[in-house]
Structure 1
Amino acid sequence: MHKYILLALVMCGMVCHHGAAQTVRFSTGVGEFDMVLNPTNDPNLQPLVDNLIAYVGLGRYHNVAINRAADGTAGDPSDDFVMQLGGFLAFPNAPELFAANPIAVRDLEAVTVDANGDGDVDFNTISNTRGTVSLALSAGNPNSGRSSFFVNLGNNQFLDGQGFVPFARIDNMDTVDRIMELQQVDVSADAGRPGDLTFIDVPLLDNGKIATITNVEVVESNDDFSFVGPIATALQIANRAITSEPSTLATMAALSSSAAIEPPLSSGMVDTITVSTDVYPVEAIGVSVVPEPSTAWLAVVGCLAWWRRRRS
C-alpha cells in the first residue's frame, strides 16, 4: 500500500515542478532579499534550481549562517567579492562558539553540470556578475555543488571558466549590501584553522550574533509549482519506491520535514569559492530545525486522501 502512495506522491510532484522562474525570499536580521531562480528560463539550469528548491522545501536553509562576507576595503563596496551562505547552521550563534562547533547543513546529492567529466560545464552559461548566484564547489570539480552558495558582489567573470554556473539572480541588492556593511570578525583561530577563508569574514549583527537566514519561502511561482518533484529527485526516492517497500509513510514525512544534523564538513570558499573537503573534528550537536509546514507534506496528505477515495 505504502509503495503506491509514495509512487503517487513522486509522480504528482514530478509532473508539476518545472516551468517559469520561481522567486525565493530569504529573510535576515537586517532585511529580506528575493532570489529569482533561472531568470533566463534555461532548461539546462533546472537541476540547479531543483537543488535549491529541495533544500528550501526540506527546511534546511532555515537558521543557516551567513559565514562569509568577503569584503575588500572597509566602506568601499567596489572591491567586495562574494557573500556565501547555506553551508552551516547558526547553532550556536555566538561567533566563537559557532567556529568551535561548526554544524554543516545536511547535504543532498551533488548537482551534475559536467556529464562527461571533462572538467567543463556542458552548456553555455550567463556570467558571474553582480547579483548572480552560483553554488560553491570543491576545487576543480564542477559536479560538487550542494547546499552552499554565494552571491556575486562584483563582476567576477574570472569564475566563469572554473565551473561556477549562475542559476539565479538578485535584482534588489540593498539587503545584501547592508549585510556587507556589518562588522566582520575572523574566528578562524577559534575553529583551530587560522586563516581558513571559511571563517575570516563572518558578519555580525549589532547584538554580536552571527548574521543568519531566519526564514525562507517561495513568494512567486507557477500555479502548478510543487516542492515534491525536486525533493523526490534530490533524495532519490523514485527508484526506492519502485524497487523496495517503504516501512511507513512516516518515513517519507520525516525526510520531507527534518533537518537532522550530521558530523560537518567545511563549506568554506578556499582560494576562490571552493568547498573544503577537510572534516572538522566536531561532535554533532543534538539540534534540529523544524520548518513551517511545507508543500511537500501537504502533497503527502493530499495523495493519501486521493488513495483513500479510490479505495472507498
Structure 2
Amino acid sequence: MADIEKETPLESIDPRFLLTFQEEPHRSRRMEIIAKHPEVTKLNGPEPKTKWIVLGVCTLQITCAILLRNTSLKSPIYWLTAYFIGATCVSNLFLAIHEFSHNLGFKDPIWNRLFACVANLPVGIPYSASFGPYHNLHHKRMGEDGYDTDLPTQLEALFLSSIAGKSFFATFQLFFYALRPMFLYQIPFTWVHYANIAIQFVFNRWLIKHFGWGAYFYLLISAFLSGSLHPIAAHFIAEHYILHTPEKRSPDIQYPETFSYYGWLNIFVYNAGYHSEHHDFPYIAWSRLPELREIAKEFYDPLPYHTSWPKVTFDFILDDNITLWNRVKRPTSLKQRQSLLHAMEKS
C-alpha cells in the first residue's frame, strides 16, 4: 500500500506523550539478529495449520450462536458462554486475521485476503479488509504521529486518563480501535473491501434467515466482550503502553516501545504475546516465534515483558501513573524532528 503522504502539525504533538527522535527499535535489532544468527531467516513463511484452526474456531462459535439463539439474555449460561467461549473464539479470529494480514496463512496473498474474510464471519461485522492496510502502517511507521493508528489521540488521552476514563477505555477499547483510523485518514477502497462486505452480508443473511436474530446478536455480544474486560483483551494495552513512569524524559532516549508476554494465554491467540519478536520479524508465523526467541535469546532475555495479561488491565486502570499518555510518539518527518528539537532546546 502506498504511503499516505501528510505531515502532522508540530503543535499537535502533545509533550505529555513520550516524544522521541530515535528510530523505532525493531529494524536495527532485526539486522543485528540476522547478522549473528542468519538461520532465523529460514523461519520466515506461512503456517499451513492456521487455516484449519480457523475453520474449527469458526465452527465452534457459529454452533454456540445457533444453540443459544433462543436463550434469554437473563440466563447466566448465555453470558458465561459468550464470555469464556465466544469472546475467546473471537479473540482467536482477530489474531488469525492479523496473521493473514502478514500473508502468514498461505503463500499467495490473495488467499490470505479471502480467508481473512472467512475468519471474519463469526465477528458479524466486516473489518478484515480494512485491518490489513492500517496494521501494516503500524509496523512500517510505528509510533509516528498521524500514521500509526494504534496510538491514542490527544483527545482520548486528555479525557480518558482518569481511573473512570481508563475503565471506560478498557471496556470499550474495541470501538476505539475500530473508529480511530477513520478519523485519522481514509485508506483506498479496493476489491478486497467489496468482497469482505459481500461475503459477510451473505453469511449474516443466511444465519438470520435460518436461525433468527438471536444467533446473530450472540456473535455481536461475543465480539464486544472479546475487546472489553476480558483476560485476552489486555494484549491491546500490553503490547505498546509503557506501564511505568520513565526516570527521565528526553527525545534522545530510546524508550522500550514493545512488550512481550510468554504466558499460557498465548495458546488461544497464535502466540500474540510474542510481540517484540513479531515486530522484529513480522513475516515469521506464530508457530515459529518461540523458536526465534530461543535462537536469539541473548537479544530477548534483557527486554522488559509482562507476566500476566489480566494484571496489565488492573494496573492500567488503577495506577494513577499509568495513563493514555504513556505511549511513545515520534514526529512524522525530519523537518518536524528538527523543529521539535529546536523548540525543546529553546525551552
The structure where strand makes up a greater share of residues is 1
- TM-based fold match above 0.5: no
Could you state the TM-score of these two structures normalised by the residue count of structure 1? Answer: 0.27
Task: Write 1 or 2 for the structure with the bigger share of helix.
Answer: 2
TM-score normalised per structure 2:
0.25
